[in-house]
Amino acid sequence: MNTLSTLAPKHFKRPGSAPTVMIVGAGPVGLSLAILLKKWGVSFRIIERNAGPSTATKAMAIHSRTLEIFRDLGVAEQAISDGFTINQFSVQSNAKRVLNYNFSYLDAPYPLLLSLPQPQTEKILLERLKALGAEVEWNTELVDIENLPGSVSMTLKHADGTDEHFTSRWVAACDGARSNIRKRLDMTFEGSSYDRFFMLADADIEWSGSKDEGAFFLGAQDGYVAVAPISAQSRYRLFIEMPYNLPPEGERPSLSLENFQRLCEGRGQKMTLSNISSTTIASFQHRRVQSMQQGSVFLLGDSAHIGSPIGGQWMNLGVSEAYNLAWKMAYVDQGLANPSLLDSYNEERYPVALEVENTAHRLTGLITVQRRALVWLRDNVLPLLSNRKKAQRKLPSMISGHQYHYEKSDYIQESLTKKQRKNWSKKGKKPEFQTAPPRAGQLAPDVELWQLQGMPTKRLIDLFHGTFTLLIFSAADQFSPLLPGYYTLAKSVEKDYPGIKAYCVIDALSGAGLPAWHSTLLDPDWRLHKRYHAKEGTMMLIRPDGYIAFLGADAITLMTYLNVRSGLLKGARTTISCETEAVELQL
Ligand SMILES: Cc1cc2nc3c(=O)[nH]c(=O)nc-3n(C[C@H](O)[C@H](O)[C@H](O)COP(=O)(O)OP(=O)(O)OC[C@H]3O[C@@H](n4cnc5c(N)ncnc54)[C@H](O)[C@@H]3O)c2cc1C
Q: 586: how many CB neighbours lie within 10 A of its CB? A: 19
Nearest CA to ligand 1 atom 41: 142
Expressed in angstroms and rounded, the spacing between residue 238 Cα and the centre of ligand 1 is 19
Expressed in angstroms and rounded, the spacing between residue 62 Cα and the centre of ligand 1 is 14
Q: 285: how many CB neighbours lie within 10 A of its CB? A: 13
Q: Which of 12, 17, 73 is nearest to 43 (CA)?
A: 17
Q: Where are the alpha helices (DSSP H) in 229-292?
A: 257-266
Cβ atoms of 171 and 181 within 8 Å: the answer is yes
Identity of the residue numbered 164: E
CATH match for 192-285 among 1.10.3720.10, 3.90.1150.10, 3.30.9.10, 3.40.50.740: 3.30.9.10
Q: Where are the chain's structural domains?
A: 3-57+117-189+289-368, 192-285, 413-586
Let me know if domain 413-586 sits in CATH 3.40.30.10. Answer: yes
Nearest CA to ligand 1 atom 30: 176
Cβ atoms of 410 and 344 within 8 Å: the answer is yes
Q: Is 180 in the pocket of ligand 1 (CB under 6 A)?
A: yes
36-65 in b/e burial notation, b at 16+ Cβ within 10 A?
Answer: bbbbbbbbbbbbbbeeebeeebbbbbbbbb
DSSP-derived pairing of the beta strands 163-168 and 151-158: antiparallel
> From CA 117, how far away is CA 212, in angstroms rounded?
16
Identity of the residue numbered 311: G
Q: Is 315 in the pocket of ligand 1 (CB under 6 A)?
A: yes
Q: Is 142 in the pocket of ligand 1 (CB under 6 A)?
A: yes
Q: 369: how many CB neighbours lie within 10 A of its CB? A: 15
* Ligand 1 atom nearest to 31, measured from its CA: 25
Distances (CA, A) of 345 to 50, 321, 358, 401, 551: 28, 8, 20, 17, 21
- The three-state secondary structure class of 524 is coil
Nearest CA to ligand 1 atom 4: 59
Name the residue of 45, 86, 118 to mutate for ligand 1: max ligand atoms within 8 A of Cβ.
118
Beta bridge partners of 551: 414, 540
- In this prediction, residue 478 carries a pLDDT of 87
Q: Is 184 in the pocket of ligand 1 (CB under 6 A)?
A: no
Cβ atoms of 304 and 234 within 8 Å: the answer is no
Cβ atoms of 195 and 245 within 8 Å: the answer is yes
Cβ-count burial of 250 within 10 angstroms (0-12 exposed, 13-18 middle, 19+ buried)? exposed
Expressed in angstroms and rounded, the spacing between residue 122 Cα and the centre of ligand 1 is 10
Three-state secondary structure readout of 544-580: CCCEEEEEECCHHHHHHHHHHCCCECCCCCCCCCEEE
Q: 126: how many CB neighbours lie within 10 A of its CB? A: 19
Q: Is 311 in the pocket of ligand 1 (CB under 6 A)?
A: no
Cα-Cα-Cα-Cα dihedral sign, residues 339, 340, 341, 342: positive
Beta bridge partners of 225: 217, 240
Name the residue of 22, 115, 144, 175 to mutate for ligand 1: max ligand atoms within 8 A of Cβ.
175
Q: What is the pLDDT along the chain (587 residues), one digit of tens a residue?
A: 222 223 333 444 444 567 999 999 999 999 999 999 999 999 999 999 999 999 988 999 999 999 999 999 999 999 999 999 999 998 888 878 888 899 999 999 999 999 999 999 999 999 999 999 999 999 999 999 999 999 999 999 999 999 999 999 999 999 999 999 999 999 999 999 988 899 999 999 998 878 888 988 887 778 889 999 999 888 999 999 998 899 998 999 999 999 999 999 988 888 999 999 999 999 999 999 999 999 999 999 999 999 998 889 999 999 999 999 999 999 999 999 999 999 999 999 999 999 999 999 888 888 888 888 888 888 888 888 888 888 888 889 889 999 999 999 999 999 987 777 766 555 555 655 567 889 999 999 999 999 877 788 899 999 999 999 999 999 998 889 999 999 999 999 999 999 999 999 999 988 777 776 568 999 999 999 999 999 999 999 999 999 999 999 999 999 999 999 999 999 876 643 334 344 444 44
Instruction: Tell me how long the chain is.
Output: 587
Q: What is the CATH number of domain 3-57+117-189+289-368?
A: 3.50.50.60
Q: Is 308 in the pocket of ligand 1 (CB under 6 A)?
A: no
454-492 in b/e burial notation, b at 16+ Cβ within 10 A?
Answer: eeeebebbbbbbbbbbbbbbbbbebebeebeebbebbee
Residue-wise pLDDT for 6-62, tens only, equals 333 344 444 456 799 999 999 999 999 999 999 999 999 999 999 999 998 899 999
> From CA 480, how far away is CA 473, in angstroms rounded?
12
Expressed in angstroms and rounded, the spacing between residue 496 Cα and the centre of ligand 1 is 42
Expressed in angstroms and rounded, the spacing between residue 173 Cα and the centre of ligand 1 is 12
- The three-state secondary structure class of 234 is coil
Nearest CA to ligand 1 atom 9: 312
Cβ atoms of 259 and 267 within 8 Å: the answer is no
* Ligand 1 atom nearest to 284, measured from its CA: 53
The distance of Cα 380 from the centroid of its chain, to the nearest Å, equals 34
Name the residue of 58, 114, 125, 230 to mutate for ligand 1: max ligand atoms within 8 A of Cβ.
58
> From CA 168, how far away is CA 209, in angstroms rounded?
53
Q: Which of 459, 503, 507 is nearest to 479 (CA)?
A: 507
Q: Which helix (H) or strand (E) holds 400?
A: none
